[in-house]
Amino acid sequence: MIDQRILDRAATLAEMAPDDSVTAEVLSGRESRFSTATPLAKPPVTYLEDTEAPAYVLTNAKRGIGRGSKRNTVSPDGERRTVVLVTGRRTLCLVGRESEDEVIEVPHDAVAKAAYNTGLRGHRIALRTPRQQYHLWVHRKTGEPLLETTTEFIGDHQLDDPETLEDNDASRVMYRGRPVNLDAGPRQSGDSETEDTRTEDGETDTSDGDHTITYRGKPIEDP
């Protein structure tokens, strides 16, 4: 049973949010946006700081979050899902695990470029930082207006010259509350650029399925 304090905070943040993608049901962990499955091991709202509030929420079923390349993904376990919380200071990617979720944090002030693209099997928001690029896969039922406003929101919170950032904490990957060294150790499944990628419905997708990438309504070069 979910603690009443978590339910109350989730309801309050949903009421405060500027977009209806932020719901009490998703924040409290009772369901995902397009599924009744429990998305994470812990309610998404518990990963937010005390004074932090989400402006937008994105989800996907099985494609997870790509690091570096679109196919080098961190994917959820079993029936878990991926929940992305976009707040005023960061994009918080939560990949559902059976026991402890994996957390990937991308501060807005570390983003050099934010763009999105749409596809028949799923959509994607790409965030480029001084260290690497992150690919946020988004459920195919998500409307393009939400992708556009989310991307613009992140862009509005960028620094004028984020490429000058050299701090290793500029874009952080966290696991069990601790930073992960991306330069050491084996890489996640889906390492190869030729490896198949699962769709939202669990099917195999052997193509990138990418279409035109746009930023603030204008096409740009695919990162």
Q: Whose CA is closest to 108, among 127, 125, 124?
A: 127
Mean pLDDT calculated for residue range 201-206: 41
- The DSSP symbol for 188 reads P
Binning pLDDT at 50, 70 and 90, where does residue 177 land? very low
Q: Whose CA is closest to 124, among 80, 79, 65, 82?
A: 65
Residue range 63-104, pLDDT digits in tens? 899 998 878 889 999 889 999 999 999 999 999 998 899 999
Is the pTM here over 0.75, yes or no? no
Give Cβ neighbours of residue 164 (< 8 Å, ≥ 6 apart). none
Give residue 143's pLDDT.
94
% of the chain at pLDDT higher than 90: 54
Mean pLDDT calculated for residue range 104-125: 93
Judged against a pLDDT cut of 90, whether residue 7 lies above it is answered with yes
Contact 48, 54 (CB under 8 A): yes
Owner of token pair 């004028």 = 160
Binning pLDDT at 50, 70 and 90, where does residue 203 land? very low
Domains detected in the chain: 4-181 (2.30.29.30)
Give residue 162's pLDDT.
55
